[in-house]
Amino acid sequence: MEISRTFPVNELFFSFQGEGCHMGKSAFFVRTNGCPVGCLWCDSAQTWHRDYKTRGRHLSAVQILHEVGDASPEFLVMTGGEPALHDWSTFNQTIYPLHIETCGAFEIKGSFSWVTVSPKTEKPPTIENIKRADEIKIVVENESSILRWENLIQEHNPQVPVWLTPEWGCRNDPDTLGVIVDFVKNAFALNYRAGFQLHKLYKVDAYDDRTVPPVPLGGNPLRGASI
């Protein structure tokens, strides 16, 4: 395994996958620093916001796997920030299945057994990444959050599960939740699924001391990373 390449790691922690098709399964998360997209409601702004971007350390694949230790997760999740800014091919020989969670706007480098694409209007996903996605996760504020991606997904990956997750600041908004229910009940166009960020309900990240607290964005404590 190549050891010279390093990754800008914001945090490593053992937890469970809180969203999508693998919800509830144990997972070891590798969260990288850096993302050029800048979503207003980003829940990991500590990876790119100017006041926090110096957090973290550079680690090689060997060093990261050493931190996994005897945790025995079902899989590793490369997340961010934007993990597709990095070439993960040095992890190809690991015994763990590798998952990646990306906005899909950048070429995915490395061998992944599961690809989650969460499209963002600020920097839309490539057609290649839509085709490669094993699941799509749309963060929902209103109906247009869903409709803006429908044609793209229908054209390039019509069978993929499409998870509709309320933006955390809208998690109790009956209008947002009602939109999701409507799309799931009338899922003629795509395989829509009702999603939620289960890990935030559990506050599960707090069960590993290595996690880095998220930072609030935009001055609105009801939005973004404030949980």
Site for ligand SF4 in 37-56 (CB under 6 A): 37-39, 42, 44
Structure tokens that stand for 154 in this block: 């229908």
Q: How far is the CB of 42 from ligand SF4 (least distance, A)?
A: 3
Return the CA Rg of the chain.
Answer: 17
Give the helix/strand (H/E) hosting 148: helix 143-156
Contact 28, 96 (CB under 8 A): yes
Residues 91 and 148: their CA atoms lie apart, in Å, by 34
Number of neighbouring beta carbons within 10 Å of residue 29: 23
Q: How far is the CB of 1 from ligand SF4 (least distance, A)?
A: 27
Give the helix/strand (H/E) hosting 225: none
Nearer to ligand SF4, 37 or 152 (CB): 37
Task: Specify the residue for token string 């829940």.
Answer: 43
Stretch that binds ligand SF4, among 1-9, 78-86, 109-117, 192-200 (CB under 6 A): 78-86
How many amino acids of this chain bind ligand SF4 (CB under 6 A)?
A: 11
Site for ligand SF4 in 103-162 (CB under 6 A): 103, 120
Contact 212, 222 (CB under 8 A): no
Burial of 14-28, coded b for 16+ CB within 10 Å and e otherwise, reads bbbbbbbebeeeebb
Nearer to ligand SF4, 116 or 176 (CB): 116
Q: Which of 35, 64, 138, 164 binds ligand SF4 (CB under 6 A)?
A: 35
Q: Which of 18, 20, 81, 224 binds ligand SF4 (CB under 6 A)?
A: 81
13: β partners: 29
Asked if 17 is part of the footprint of ligand SF4 (rule: CB under 6 A), the reply reads: no
Stretch that binds ligand SF4, among 34-42, 124-132, 177-185, 193-201 (CB under 6 A): 34-42
Interface residues with ligand SF4 (CB under 6 A) are 35, 37-39, 42, 44, 80-82, 103, 120
